[in-house]
Structure 1
């Protein structure tokens, strides 16, 4: 089944009691994508690829053109990134940086996730969409995590199974909490990824509800010489492990020595815009 287009999804959002106030089609250079207006700021979508580098046999060097995605492998999916246009330039933006009120944070988080999902699935992108969820939202919503977002997506004709809810490291550090969150989001059709706060936390994963993906900061894993043990233990758990925030060619080449499969980070190119 082909997903609705971005304009069709924005039209459906117009009938939503909350999203209709904030989501709309962009103008000018952003005319083909959805934008969100919140607190006087226009929010935009971009997507950072997550590569499966195992599809290309043999070690690769990235001393050549870093922007050629085909050199790294196929995309497992994409991490949503929030942008804004400021002084004529598009730049990364954290809409939660100055938000301290819980109801406002919950509303903003739901707005941003809807924006990124509409732009991603509405543009017929392949692969999975990884969406970060704010730690404070997890604490503010007392139960049935994922129910509201799943209902919104289904009402728009979208499949929650294309979306990976990415839990922050602070949540993953609490075994009982992350187990509850994982079960709840999966019950409503989502996949769930957990950011490891440190390499040792992977030892607790088998006691939790089963995460669909694990993520680990590449710099921290390399610094602590934990890449090989992490890869080995994740393979035993049969949970895909993504090394994120890969910042340069040297890190990428070190990771390849340990049969790392999934990578993401600024070294692999500029972010993909929604259009």
Structure 2
């Protein structure tokens, strides 16, 4: 089966009124990608790589050439990032910051996830796509989390199994809630990642539904000398552990000392992909 293109996916999105009102093919330098309009602002997609650095046993240092960080691993997947144009360039943008109405936020959250999925899968990108879900959406939708988005993707001819729904730390901190969310999203074909609010929270994961991935802020783990125990416990759980927000070469080289496998963050900015 031939995968649908970005333009074909944008055309299919017209079947959904809210998407039809806000999603379109871009113009000018963005003519090959989908864009979304939110409160008069054009939203764009970018993707931050998540590297599996275990595939290169010869990794030694990033200090010599940060611009070639991508050579240190294969991509497990990519984290979607929302951008807007500003002063002739693009900058990260939070479209939910001024949204006070929960129903509007739910619609915006779904629109942004659809935008990033269309641009990623429509461009036949490899790997998994990690999509953050807003905390207020999780609380506003009362049940069947993932049902609507799964139906949209299937109607587009896309596989929900390529998508990792990334839960915020505030949700992961509540054991019963994160267990319900994980089961619900997985029931509709998605994979689920949970951001740890702190290193100690990993001790509760065995009592939760089985997360597919766990993410931890590398800066906090290094500061609290928790990298080694985190890696050890995650290995026992057999849940892949991703250290994110790796800010510089020094942090990366410290992580290498503890058999860390998956990393992402600003230090790999040279490998970021935009569409």
User: TM-score when scaled to structure 1?
Assistant: 0.98
- Residue 142 (structure 1) aligns with: 142
Distance 2:240 2:174 in 1: 20
Distance 1:113 1:274 in 2: 15
- Residue 129 (structure 1) aligns with: 129
Per-residue CA distance 1:67-107 (angstroms, 9 max, x = gap)? 32542110000000000012322111011111111011001
Cα RMSD, aligned residues only: 1.1
1:1-275 matches, cutoff 5 A = 1-270=1-270, 272-275=272-275
> Contact between 1:45 and 1:273, CA under 8 Å: does it hold in 2?
no
> Contact between 1:50 and 1:77, CA under 8 Å: does it hold in 2?
yes
Task: State the SS of the aligned residue for 1:215.
Answer: strand
Per-residue CA distance 1:101-121 (angstroms, 9 max, x = gap)? 101100100000000000000
Task: State the SS of the aligned residue for 1:120.
Answer: helix
Distance 1:273 1:88 in 2: 18
Task: State the SS of the aligned residue for 2:66.
Answer: coil
Does the C-alpha gap of structure 1 residues 123 and 21 become closer, same or farther in structure 2, counting only changes over 3 Å?
A: same
Aligned length: 275
Q: Name structure 2 gaps, 5 residues minimum.
A: none
> Contact between 2:243 and 2:262, CA under 8 Å: does it hold in 1?
yes
Q: Please, which moves more after superposition, 69-78 or 99-108?
A: 69-78
Per-residue CA distance 1:172-194 (angstroms, 9 max, x = gap)? 00000000000000000000000
> Contact between 1:119 and 1:274, CA under 8 Å: does it hold in 2?
no
Task: State the SS of the aligned residue for 2:76.
Answer: strand
> Contact between 1:120 and 1:274, CA under 8 Å: does it hold in 2?
no
> Contact between 2:6 and 2:33, CA under 8 Å: does it hold in 1?
yes
Distance 1:87 1:266 in 2: 21
Distance 2:97 2:153 in 1: 26
Q: Please, which moves more after superposition, 2-11 or 112-121?
A: 2-11
Distance 2:257 2:100 in 1: 43
Distance 1:101 1:71 in 2: 44
Distance 1:40 1:68 in 2: 37
- Cα offset for 1:3? 2.1
Task: State the SS of the aligned residue for 1:258.
Answer: coil
Distance 2:271 2:100 in 1: 28
Q: Which runs of 4+ in 1 moved over 6 A?
A: none
Does the C-alpha gap of structure 1 residues 43 and 120 become closer, same or farther in structure 2, counting only changes over 3 Å?
A: same
